[in-house]
Amino acid sequence: MQRRKAGTVAAVAALGMTATLGGCGVTGGSGDVTLRLVAADYGDSAANSSQKYWDELVKEYESKHSGVKVDVTVYSWNDVDRKVKEMVDAGKAPDMAQIGAYADYAAKDELYTADDLLSISTQADFASQLATAGQVKGVQYGMPFAASTRLLFYNKTLFQAAGLTPPKTWKQLAADAAALKARGVTYPYALPLGPEEAQAETMQWMLSGGGGYTDTVGTYGIDSAQNVATFDWLKDDLVGKGLTGPVPPGRLNRATAFSAFAKGEVGMLNGHPSLMKIAAKKGVKFGMVPMPGTHGQSSTSMGVADWMMAFKKNGHAQQVGDFLDFVYDEKNVLSFSREYDLLPVTNSASEVMSSDKRDADLKPFLDELPQSELYPVGKTSWAAVSAAVKKRIGQAVGANASPAATLSQLQATASTAESAD
């Protein structure tokens, strides 16, 4: 297998050495190396837990690699990032972690680079914007593992009853919301700016207004003129006109909004692929369109990725690389994506999914991926900025609020966090 770091392995082989890394032999009989992977659970029940996915994948891998065992522990998203941090802080880093962020570990020089691990063909197969998002100062440490984009979901039954068509502009969205409100719809447009995932709704709206968390050179620009104009519009034209429902946006969480949509109480909201299954289970007929913008459909959508990373502490670069090449094999990427309604992170799997009828439901999200923009996850400051957005952004659309003042406060937080990087 062609690798970036083949020279080191070849040198060891030429010298006839039996290397011992992290207390485990690299060569020899079965079980010489045990790799530990900590992963997040994407399932919504015991029946489809990610543990089952990993157990099946590892069984197949081990059957072909007698010298390597892989021990996978799966935790819920509520716990997995903390568990990995505790392990690393205790000097017991796993070989691999599949979690939500990688930049802090990369900044501390605790991670292998993608070049250290993966075959050239595997690296080349990553979707380009996902690979770029996995970089810190131009070097890729985060390997994308799962991706999703956002679309505007609308309730077809409510829209048809009101004689509406899906909006393409903010003005049309507000008009549709007003018509739905007149017909007694509880949440004409659900605007979840509560602490659960406010950073996502915020970014979706910023992008549709021509802004974003960062500017074209990657510098935070939270209080840009475009972002201020976006939140002025949200405050005055949606929230101020009573078009966002009975719960103030700053107290409305995504899970609550999704649940209300599944009950038929929401006319429109931004959603990711998992909302399809939630709504379908409740019999809600829905449609999905790209996010409206100021003068037409937004040219940029929001993308989200979760990350695989490998820690250097145990020294198993070759074995980790071999295993990850297997993880990112086309059939395995497709299997995972289909099981959990997520987008594949490789070009080869995306091409298959784009043309396969069984994946038709995910195609609208897949079509958005090439023009999507991700959180600035390569910045170690992003964790602090995201936390501040979750805590404060709901205040920007309150009755007596100043969006400019709230965004200025968040920009100050971002600048401080950035200077501490």
pLDDT at 362 over 70: yes
pLDDT tens by residue, 39-73: 999 987 888 899 999 999 999 999 999 899 999 99
- Could you tell me which of 47, 50, 89, 90 has the C-alpha nearest to residue 72? 50
Tell which wins on pLDDT, 9 or 347. Answer: 347
Q: Which two tokens stand for residue 213?
A: 């968390």
Domains along the chain with CATH numbers: 6-147+305-370 (3.40.190.10), 151-290+381-419 (3.40.190.10)
- As beta bridge partners, residue 410 has none
Q: What is the pLDDT of residue 9?
A: 32
pLDDT at 421 over 70: no
Average pLDDT score over residue span 351-368: 94
- Determine contact, residues 244/191, Cβ cutoff 8 Å: yes
- Could you tell me which of 407, 398, 77, 406 has the C-alpha nearest to residue 252? 398
Q: What is the pLDDT of residue 270?
A: 97
pLDDT at 29 over 50: no
pLDDT at 355 over 60: yes
